[in-house]
Structure 1
């Protein structure tokens, strides 16, 4: 159980405020002083005034250095970094051209953005952190567990960059997802030696290493399900997004008989694209008729607490349940609701709040660990912009200047060489932790994540998500996944929901359109005004055939090499190719 919000402070005492100022100053100095001599700081046009102020100042004590940073560093986006990052992708790439580019030395890997909110992949260099931080939860790709962890991980990468070093050797830098980069860094796994580790099975994991190299989306989840079901010692389930666990359960239900037969006989199922991975998996998988009999008696997912019956030692579920993953905790269909499958004895918890650019906050366990995050200055220094401010030039705020109830965009300065970088999220401040005064925040939505329709209004991602989840709870059934496109089949253009459901559709499902419309009218003043002026119309809801979003994820993996377990379905879809493909999968309109 978590405490009520009344435990949080509504304002900071003078002592806590000074404590936060000192904490922020020290963290900022640790991050920016080592990066002062980097190529980006020395050459980026956006930092010209900062360089000039530094050059004109003879006294560079800490206080003066911080003043110059706060006065002369502007907020940035990806564009200033793009030409510097491009140097790593040049052929040939010489060490002298990229050394000390954003931070001292060379990056360990490049983290790929998920492309959820943009059309193109962004890459961010990630350097090895100081040794004292490597055991922090922000960096632990495989957190310690007293038992066995079910945490599917894909080792897929986009490409390997080759840097020709001055000593005649070369350095390989992998371009991959953030979590896979952290895992490779923690284990010192070079991508070029992936096939030499095929017999590896990390202690405490349900999935052998070979599964992480599987390319097929379906095969990846079927094989993870096979090895996980065979192991009754699971204590932790960890999925990046909670709704991906729901998809995992669907594969278990669809392939239940096959999986149990394979566990009984100790065979690897005939799934696609295994090739050279089949032999090591067959070597590691043994017959277990007793476990197969136990699973047959339990049956496939459906009953409340199914997960605890299958894994009697299960203690906790880790995964993001907000944003697009909110469908996993929808009340629409108890059979597929996350808390129903886990049962009342298994708490759920988010893993933290962050992005490819940096990790900003950890779950606040004295609040709701699924939605409440405590800002920490470990990987990044986070400042904020007030999204409701009417000031002509947005003023960057420190943590001790925040106000409970305020909505803010985080601005990141990182150990990896980002300077006041705007990530485009919007968070709400709930209050301040009573022990140290650090802000407790909730993620709301992307700042530019809604549609600006022809009638000039923007509903936020959180408003659009809440409306369809609420409608599904009452009328439609369990949403597996959804996205929204501009529906321009009539005028004016409107929000076109494309959803995939699990199980049977509700008998009064057509009522969902009206409820979604009413919820958006109540949530967004601009939308309501536009409707009454005849500039807006009701949203539309179309159902997609079963398996559509699994195929979407497979195509996204093939196109971008984003990690299989981390592909996100965007709330608002901007890619025109995927839009047309999804519209071809429509089976009925409500």
Structure 2
């Protein structure tokens, strides 16, 4: 499809700049006035100067209140909040000890970070937003659709916290992924009534409710594939991470004959750990020999445009196509967020979908808070418009020599500049640093809001002993380019420090689909040359003898699927949330992956 034309402003007019000031001021006041009375705001040492300034001034003066916020509230990180969050996990947990901890009342759920880097899990309380925001795209786990949507949803949760309330009752708070929490909140689905909804099948979805409770990784994908293939009316495919769609397609290919036979006969396959979920699923699947015959004629995934042959009404694919999914889509189709990679080859998702299907980003945000939504007047795959819905976003200039506490407002941004987002959220985070780097593409002409593209993690590169840091974008671009020319189709990859020789270097661990190229060993030299061209520090370190060529080791087929399944089983994180980091720091995972090496180039 043709790239949409954009008409972004390169700079803000005085009128738009003033309009943005009012927009940010109003949004900030709504959040910080409400959360100022929270336990965190009253007790955190980081906010002591802010509290003192408010006490000495006129707290009812909005302009003075905002000036004190901007002058006295420092940037924060997770460690500031950890001791306050820990109170929710105490046993017993009394309502008086945690009520109004970060925002008024009690959280609806706790959102888990996905632990991409291998570090310990972070949890963030999520409070129910005002009713008028519940239908905003940032909160909708399943946006409305006029047709049928393939959007596998797991309701798997890590644990349930019990809060003993003052009235003698207790409140259960689920610890789960952000998407699961938003889905449960939107549908008012409490965990205690999960088994009473087993017969439910929401209109417009391919998957009956019971599939969302399946715990087995394989069974979850096989059953979603079964019901999706049985319905030719699919118009939209939604996967939070596009690489999960690739996993879905792998299961479709591996189980093709079984799936088609089950559709023909109207039976649920013999997959593990179904138990009481089998009966409600069986009642939703009827024999369909005509559909089975149609699928047999089309065949399993492989041909270009396979998806539109299976689902003739398919028009749109929505998913994060950067980061863990970038090896599955071309550079032109990338979106943003959370540990994103920035290049790819041409086969897999776009090959499977075909040229008629629009690819769109679901937006940009994190477990901590939402930042931007898809900018449809630009490139819907990469362009994202900053909005203040559950958070107000300020920015740090990553190229500035000023102190890191110099926080910029949206009207102070410059087109082409690189910035780190800083969030103040409805859920009680105060100037929280995300650690990402975005670039401002321009400003929307109607309201002046910045339109941004995600670049990479600010400290996502692997710091070598020789003192240089290549960004995730650079590290990804060079291996994807080399693989496309010499090795073959990348299924996935990660990078570890290779210290088998001195000095330490970037060690690529790569899984390839299909045959390995006959001249695959040329990839190491190309990766080295491209990295030399991309990063001045690396080039200088090499010529000074402080750096050596990167290494590339190929892993056994299926390694990263097993990695995801192990992580899912070990952490109880949602199936859709498991990601492979660009740079791996977890020593246990590193050692396991190294055991899967089959070839070194």
Instruction: Determine the structure 2 residue equivalent to 1:238.
Output: 238
Instruction: Determine the structure 1 residue equivalent to 2:283.
Output: 283
Matches within 5 A, 1:384-533: 384-533=395-544
Relative to structure 2, which stretch is displaced further, 156-165 or 511-520?
Answer: 511-520
Matches within 5 A, 1:252-271: 252-271=252-271
Q: Does 1:90 align with 2:101?
A: no
Instruction: Determine the structure 2 residue equivalent to 1:36.
Output: 36
Instruction: Determine the structure 2 residue equivalent to 1:3.
Output: 4
Instruction: Determine the structure 1 residue equivalent to 2:587.
Output: 576
8 Å CA contact retained: 2:328, 2:345? no
Relative to structure 2, which stretch is displaced further, 474-483 or 16-25?
Answer: 474-483
Instruction: Determine the structure 1 residue equivalent to 2:336.
Output: none
Q: Does 1:547 align with 2:558?
A: yes
**Shift, 1:393, TM fit:** 4.3
Mapped to 2, the partners of 1:200 and 1:504 lie a distance apart of 44
Alignment deviations for residues 481-519 of structure 1 (CA, whole Å, 9 cap, x no partner)? 111111111111111111112222222221111111111
1:364 to 359, 371, 375: 375
SS at match of 2:227: helix
Mapped to 1, the partners of 2:117 and 2:558 lie a distance apart of 23
Matches within 5 A, 1:129-140: 129-140=129-140
Mapped to 2, the partners of 1:467 and 1:270 lie a distance apart of 43
Matches within 5 A, 1:30-429: 30-58=30-58, 60-330=60-330, 336-429=347-440
Alignment deviations for residues 305-360 of structure 1 (CA, whole Å, 9 cap, x no partner)? 110000011010001112232111148775x4211111111110010000000011
Mapped to 2, the partners of 1:563 and 1:505 lie a distance apart of 32
2:568 to 538, 545, 557: 557
SS at match of 1:34: helix
8 Å CA contact retained: 1:323, 1:462? no
Mapped to 2, the partners of 1:3 and 1:64 lie a distance apart of 43
**Shift, 1:554, TM fit:** 0.8
**Structure 1 unaligned residues grouped into runs of 5+:** none
SS at match of 2:599: strand
**Shift, 1:447, TM fit:** 0.9
**Structure 2 unaligned residues grouped into runs of 5+:** 332-343
Counterparts in 2 of 1:59 and 1:309: CA distance versus 1, 3 Å: closer
Relative to structure 2, which stretch is displaced further, 405-414 or 386-395?
Answer: 386-395
**Shift, 1:208, TM fit:** 1.1
Q: Structure 2-normalised TM-score?
A: 0.96
Q: Structure 1-normalised TM-score?
A: 0.98
> Structure 1 segments of 4 or more deviating over 3 A?
1-5, 330-334
Aligned residues: 588
Mapped to 1, the partners of 2:412 and 2:459 lie a distance apart of 24
Alignment deviations for residues 178-213 of structure 1 (CA, whole Å, 9 cap, x no partner)? 000000000101112212222111111111111111
Alignment deviations for residues 452-505 of structure 1 (CA, whole Å, 9 cap, x no partner)? 101111011111111111112212221111111111111111111111122222
Relative to structure 2, which stretch is displaced further, 8-17 or 392-401?
Answer: 392-401
Mapped to 1, the partners of 2:84 and 2:345 lie a distance apart of 49
Mapped to 1, the partners of 2:576 and 2:314 lie a distance apart of 21
Please, what is the CA RMSD of the aligned residues? 1.2
SS at match of 1:81: helix
Relative to structure 2, which stretch is displaced further, 294-303 or 497-506?
Answer: 497-506
Relative to structure 2, which stretch is displaced further, 475-484 or 408-417?
Answer: 475-484
**Shift, 1:59, TM fit:** 5.4
8 Å CA contact retained: 2:117, 2:586? no
Mapped to 2, the partners of 1:411 and 1:393 lie a distance apart of 11
8 Å CA contact retained: 1:409, 1:427? yes
Mapped to 1, the partners of 2:416 and 2:230 lie a distance apart of 47
Counterparts in 2 of 1:73 and 1:484: CA distance versus 1, 3 Å: same
